Structure 1
Amino acid sequence: MPIEIKELHIKIKVDENQDRSPGGGFSPKEKQKLIDQCIEQILEVLGKQKER
């Protein structure tokens, strides 16, 4: 049974005193690892949708 989200609350905290390095301060290796994890999760979700 699908889940419907009717409300979504997002809270963020912005610290103006923090360094403003591009990319959020991640090394290229960490960025690639994060991208790979995202792609893996997306492919998992798409695979589950095809099973239905």
Structure 2
Amino acid sequence: MPIEIRELVIKATITDDAAAGGSGAGTSGSGDNNNVSPGEEMIKDTLDKTMDAIKDRNER
């Protein structure tokens, strides 16, 4: 018998640490746009994927 999940709760905590951003952790990334923080890049990627999923669902 299949199980249907009707609700999915996702909780995320984002912190902005000035000390961590200045070290080597923030140097990896796309490299072509240095003024975008890694957090903003992750949000943009997630938003793009979400919008693509909504478009695909509406096309069906």
Say which structure, 1 or 2, has more relative contact order (CA 8 Å, 6+ apart).
Answer: 2
TM-score for both structures, normalised by structure 1 = 0.48
TM-score for both structures, normalised by structure 2 = 0.43
